[in-house]
Every structure is written in structure tokens, then in C-alpha cells.
Amino acid sequence: MNESLAVRRDARRFDFRLRGVVGVWLRHYTAFKGGWMIEMTGILIEPVFILAAVAFGIGELVGDVETRGDGVKYAVFVAPGIVVGNAMWHALFECSWGAFRRLQTNRIYDSILAAPVSMRELALGEISWGATRALMTTAAVLAFASVTGLVESPWAVGILGIGILTGFMFGGFGLIAAAIAPSTHMLTLVFTMVGTPLFFFSGTFFPISTLPRWIEPIAWALPLTHPVRIARALATGDLYLSLLWSLLYLVVAGLLFYPIATHLLRRRLLI
Amino acid sequence: MVRAAGLIKKFGAFTAVDGISFEVRRGETFGMLGPNGAGKTSTLRMMSGLSPVTAGELEIDGIDATANPRSVRDVIGVVSQHDGLDPDISVRDNLTVYGFYFGLDRDTARRRADEVLDFFALRARGDDSVDDLSGGMRRRLSIARAFVSRPRLVILDEPTTGLDPASRNRVWEQLAVLKNSGVTVVMSTHYMEEAAILCDRLVIMDEGRVLGAGTPDQLIQDLAGAEAAQVRPEEGRREDVQRQLKDGGHDVSDIGAVFVVHGSDGQRADLSTISGARVTYRAANLEDVFLTLTGRGLRDE
Ligand SMILES: Nc1ncnc2c1ncn2[C@@H]1O[C@H](COP(=O)(O)OP(=O)(O)OP(=O)(O)O)[C@@H](O)[C@H]1O
Ligand SMILES: [Mg+2]
């Protein structure tokens, strides 16, 4: 009896194993490796089409854009927006649609949780894979943008970090959606009602100041606004102190979504 | 190996497992036989650390499973009712990745995956997609997967439900291999043949309770007698025959087309005086045990 008391006390310790997270991440990496050629179309080719069309097509029709005093060419303005917006899509898709398939359709979570992986670790594995995908696509599109002269400052390397943080935040958000969605139908709403408006109205394609006065504060509250703002500053090398607020927003939202997702998954699966 | 005492599982106000107690010895194959909704899955999920214990005691390999489900999952292998295989990766990777979940490094996980593929004669399908496997093959793979971590206890939930007889035989072979490897097995089933063939000991469950426990032979001997009689009424004599059986004080179960009559004290029931029915005797089985315990068939659905 003494023995089982000892075990009981043991359980109260904060129990987190990195290897659980790594295991889940490696599962995704294994699946990714199996189909990487096709994956590249989503990671590189599709976003490059969008960027090229908007920057070099529409960009030719549009004059310079006012940003903090100086005007920049529209192509230069829009590139960081598309890079980061695309990072959002990848993390969001992976952690909502992809996660829902694993959770509900294929019941893979049940198998993972039957191994000694905790929900906290599983959720972090999912979100970090979302962030990894966001990083991959950020790197790919950013490389294209710099080769085509859309990046003006070496600070732009920092956009890779913003890509990861964006992936972490939207990965967490997507996982929350997956955890509460009753069906893939409902999950579609995440793309149509969240992804799409964020992609277009977060200062990605035009400055927020262009929006009607009353919408402006709403646009500032949107999560994609902040990484876009930081990425744009990094791409143009025009850094200023208030960007730290955006960085704080990004980090705090990510740190908030993750435990909420864990909690909701527990409620759904560990019954 | 496993000790459950007064184990309870509630879903809201509904009690799925209603205070069951049992013990599983090291190295044996232990069965839970019961119809749909008996509480088998609920019990096995609690044992697997996938479902919180509502009340009662549950100890697995010396670990208090109610407080420390993860430590339990370190030492067990789980095969769930649906296979839960990963369709995005190959058969071999399903095993390798499962090793990753247990913290094996890449080389060890790969080596272990190949060992397990060999052990369960699945090597030839290693590079295939899981979706290309037959139902029986999928089930065997999910059993193999539970074996990657060298568990001391393997928990199987209805390992052959939904399989055709040939696949079922293959799975039984595989389970026999498991058993001979010395691992302790706890499995649920609603097939009495399966329980009789594979299990050293078993509990019979219904509506969240344990109705009987013992070796298959012992249960049959004690509860159903050596032989059961099937009484098939002639055309239009059903009610008459039923009355005769009742008046004779027999232990009768009505399973539709026929009445099943069990003897007492291991003796066959004397039905020589029954008229208007054809009486045949056959060896009693676990189905009869369930019948005498509940008055219903195992597969009343
Ligand atoms: N998550 C749940 N919420 C509510 N009720 C549940 C839940 N899971 C199971 N039950 C109920 O608990 C009872 C026992 O279910 P359980 O799945 O343990 O039975 P079982 O013996 O495994 O049956 P089967 O042979 O159909 O697999 C059933 O009445 C079932 O409807
Ligand atoms: Mg079940």
C-alpha cells in the first residue's frame, strides 16, 4: 500500500515530457516527407502565384503606399502581408482541418493518447507542426520576395521568426476550432468566416487607415494585423518602438490559445 | 497484474460501469464477455488511462491507475475497438512512429518496427499504405503496433468484431503468439467461441456489472451444466410447450425459435415428459452461461 501512495504523490508533480511533443512532431514530419513534392505546391507555388499577381500585376496599376511618412512601392508594401497571411493559412489549415481529420475521421488521437503522450504534449506537437509549416512557407515565399527585389532590408530575416509566432498563434486557434467542431461542415466556417476576412482586412493588401474610421479599431484588434505590421517593418527596415506591442499581442495570444486548445481537447476526448 | 475493486464509470447521470471487481494474474489471458453496452469498452478505457475513473480502485502492474494513468500507459499496449491506424503514413511507419510516442530514438524505433513486422508476419506489407490493407490485416497491424513498446500488459477491445471467419482465425493465431510470448492480455469480446478458445479466465458482464467469473469450463460447469437442451415446439404448440416447461420447474430461456433448458448441478434436464416439441441435447457453452445469468442471448441487439 505504501508503494501506491508513493506513486500517487508522484502524479502531482508537473508532468511534461518533451519527448511526447517530439514524437507527435515526428509523426507529422514522417507524413510530410512521404508527400513533400505535392506539399511544395502549397508551400511555395500557390503563394508565389498570388504574390506575383498582386505585386507585379496589380502593383503596376497602383501608386506608392503611404507608410509612416515615406511612400513605398505597392509591391514592396504587399509582399510581407502576403508572406505572413500565407503563414496563417498553413498553420490554420493544418491545425483545424488536419487536426480534425486526425481527431475525428481517423481517430489517431486516441492511439497517440493510448501511448504515454499527454494531451498537453499532443496539443503542443500539433501546434508546433503548424508553426513548422508556417515557417516552411514563410521561408519559401520570403526567398522568392527577396530574389525579386521586394525586400529592402536585411532585417527581413526576422520575418522567419514572425512566421513561426504567427504559426503558433493560428495553430492554437485552429486546434481550438478542431476541438469544438462537431463536423467538417462547421470547420469550413473557420476558413470562410475567420481565415478569409483576416487575410484581406489585416493591413495585408492595403493600410488599415484606408478603412472607414469606425472599422479601424476592429482591424487593430485582429490577430493577423500585428504580425503583418512587424513583418512589413522588418522588410523595409523601418523599425519603431510600438512594434513591441504587436509582438506582445502575438506571443500572448499564442500562449493563451494553446492551453485553451488543450483544455477543450481533454473535454472532448478524455471522457 | 490488474486489480479492480468497486470500479465505477459514470457518464453524467448514466452509470456505464457499476462497481465491478476483478483480478488479472500475470501472464494470463483474461476475457470480458458481454453484449453491446455491457461496459467493456468503458472498463478497458479506464484501464488504458484514457478515461478518468469515476470511483473505485484500479491498480495495474503495481501502479495506482486512478491517480497515474500515464505511468500505466508506459507499460501497456492498447488495441482499441476501431483500429486508429494512421492512413497518412506507411504500414512500417505506423510502427516506427508509435515507437516515437514512447520516446524511442529513430534507430531503435526502426529496428523495433522491423522486428514486430517479422514477428507478426506483416513484413511483406511494410511499405504499403494502411488503406490498402484488408480489415483483418488492419486489425493485425493494430495488434502489432501495441507490441512495439514491449508492453507487460496488452489491452484489446473486441479484436475480431466485424471480421470474416478466415480473418478471425488469423487474428486468433496472432493472439496465440502474443499469449505464448508471456505477455498478460486483457480482452473484451461478445463472441463466446472466442472467449472459450483464448481466455484462461474471464468475467461475464452485463449492464455494467460482473455476473460471473472463472475459467470458461468452470463457468459452464457451474452455471449451465454439462449439457443444454434445445426444445423446438411443433407448429402451433409454442404456448403449450412453454407451459409444460414452466410447470416442470425447469430453468428455461426463451430465445425466439427455441427454448433452451439448462440442467441443475451439472446434470442434463430430464425432458422426457414434454410433448409437442423436439428435444435435442448439446454440450453447454458460454452462451448458455450468459442465458442462465440474464435470461437473454449474448447477441440480443
Ligand atoms: N461517452 C459516453 N457518453 C455517454 N454514454 C456512454 C459513453 N460511452 C459509453 N456510454 C454508454 O455506456 C454504456 C457502456 O458502453 P461501453 O461502450 O462500455 O459498452 P461495451 O460493452 O463496450 O459495448 P459494445 O459491445 O457495444 O462495444 C453504453 O450504454 C453506452 O451507451
Ligand atoms: Mg465496446
pLDDT digits (tens, 9 = 90+) for B39-87: 999 999 999 999 999 999 999 999 999 999 999 999 999 999 888 999 9
Domain extent listing, chain B: 22-45+73-201+212-220, 226-284
pLDDT score of B220: 84
Closest Cα to residue A233, out of A147, A151, A134?
A: A151
pLDDT over 70 (residue B297) = no
Ligand 1 pocket by C-beta < 6 Å: which residues?
A 271; B 11, 14, 16, 34, 36-42, 81, 190
- The SS3 call for residue B106 is helix
Q: What percent of chain B is modeled with pLDDT above 90?
A: 56
Which position has the grid cell 475525428? A104
Which position has the grid cell 512587424? A230
All residues of chain A having their beta carbon less than 8 Å from the beta carbon of residue B51 are: 270-271
Mean pLDDT of A157-162: 98
pTM of the model: 0.90
pLDDT score of A60: 86
Determine the residue type at B237: R
In the A/B pair of chains, how many CB contacts fall below 8 A?
100
Contact yes or no for A167/A231 (Cβ under 8 A): no
Q: Is residue A69 very low, low, confident or very high in pLDDT (cuts 50, 70, 90)? A: low
- Distance, in Å, from the CA atom of A74 to the CA atom of A57, rounded to the nearest integer, reads 10
pLDDT over 70 (residue B298) = no
Determine the residue type at A150: L
- Does the CA dihedral B285-B287-B290-B296 come out positive or negative? negative
Which distant-in-sequence residues (6+ apart) come within 8 Å of B202 by Cβ? B30, B31, B32, B33, B195, B213, B214, B215, B216, B219, B286
Higher model confidence: residue A60 or residue A175? A175
pLDDT score of A70: 74
Out of B41, B54, B203, B294, give the residue to mutate to test ligand 1, the one with the largest number of ligand atoms within 8 Å of its CB: B41
Q: How far is A117 from chain B (nearest CA, A)?
A: 6
pLDDT over 50 (residue B133) = yes
C-alpha cell of residue B141? 497491424
Name the β-bridge partners of B185. B29, B154
pLDDT digits (tens, 9 = 90+) for A183-199: 999 899 999 999 999 99
A19/B82 CB distance under 8 A: no
- Distance, in Å, from the CA atom of A89 to the CA atom of A138, rounded to the nearest integer, reads 11
pLDDT over 90 (residue A131) = yes
Give buried/exposed letters for B19-53 (b at 16+ CB in 10 A, else e): bbebebeeebbbbbbbbeebbbbbbbbbbbbbbeb
Across all residues in chain B, what is the average pLDDT? Answer: 89
- Distance, in Å, from the CA atom of A238 to the CA atom of B239, rounded to the nearest integer, reads 95
Q: What percent of chain B is modeled with pLDDT above 70?
A: 96
pLDDT over 80 (residue B165) = yes
A27/B52 CB distance under 8 A: no
B71/A10 CB distance under 8 A: yes
A4/B82 CB distance under 8 A: no
Q: How far is B71 from chain A (nearest CA, A)?
A: 7
* Nearest chain A residue to B76, by CA: A115
Q: Is residue A206 very low, low, confident or very high in pLDDT (cuts 50, 70, 90)? A: very high
Contact yes or no for A102/A117 (Cβ under 8 A): no
pLDDT over 50 (residue A6) = no
Chain B residues contacting A, CB < 8 Å? 11, 48-52, 59, 62-64, 67-68, 70-71, 73-74, 78, 80, 82, 84-90, 93, 96-98, 100-103, 145, 149
Closest Cα to residue A155, out of A137, A142, A168, A136?
A: A142
All residues of chain A having their beta carbon less than 8 Å from the beta carbon of residue B89 are: 27, 30-31, 34
pLDDT score of B144: 93
pLDDT digits (tens, 9 = 90+) for A73-98: 999 999 999 999 999 999 999 999 99
Strand B14-24, strand B2-11: pairing: antiparallel
Burial label for A217, CB within 10 Å (0-12, 13-18, 19+), is: exposed
All residues of chain A having their beta carbon less than 8 Å from the beta carbon of residue B93 are: 30, 34
Fold (CATH) for B22-45+73-201+212-220: Rossmann fold (3.40.50)
pLDDT score of A223: 95
Residue nearest to atom 7 of ligand 1 (CA): B11
pLDDT digits (tens, 9 = 90+) for B193-235: 889 889 999 999 999 999 999 998 888 888 777 788 888 888 8
B100/A22 CB distance under 8 A: yes
Higher model confidence: residue A3 or residue B168? B168
